[in-house]
Amino acid sequence: MPCSIGEGLAYSYYTGFLKPVLPSLASRLSKYPLVFSKKLFILIPTSGNLPSRLQDADSDIVHLGQTDALMLDRGGIAGRSYANNVYSVKKTQLVVDMPANLLTLRDIEMDADFPDFTEGEAKTEVLKFVAQLEKILLKNVELASMCVIVTYDDSTTKPSAALQKFMG
């Protein structure tokens, strides 16, 4: 059964990032004792446009630094480093990730070899990514308990406002 681009990207994000990184996240937060939650907040704008620096996209977000790195041998690279960014969102510390592989959708949209792949198609694939990631995480309750998927319409909502809904 073929899968869509968004669904494939969800599997890639899960197997290549979440599955190896989430189990050790809480133990890699030693530099941030005031962090609100030991969960990873996965921030997904529905446009698929991810800012290079989250703090540049929203003045209510301040980058505090990174977690201790997790070093793994993966994909032919010895000692691949995985670290997560810690932000202050209106004075609340959170670990936030934006799935960088979603930038592939923007790249396809801009590529002249794919003239039929429109902004609307990209948004549809982002939503398929989210649905598939949720479906994958339902099968792994332990990993699902270590993260929160935060999807938001970035044409009307700032990242900080989307995250605040989950900050209790």
Question: What is the spatial distance between Cα 69 and Cα 27, in angstroms, rounded to a whole number?
Answer: 11
Check residue 112 and give its pLDDT: 87
Q: Beta-carbon neighbour count of residue 27 at 10 Å?
A: 11
Q: What does pTM read for this prediction?
A: 0.94
Mean per-residue pLDDT pooled into runs of 10, the chain (168 residues): 91 96 94 92 95 94 96 91 94 95 92 90 96 97 97 95 89
Q: What is the DSSP code (8-state) at residue 140?
A: -
Sequence-ordered list of residues with C-beta below 8 angstroms from that of 38, at least 6 positions apart, any chain: 25, 26, 29, 95, 146
Check residue 10 and give its pLDDT: 98
Question: What is the spatial distance between Cα 108 and Cα 126, in angstroms, rounded to a whole number?
Answer: 13
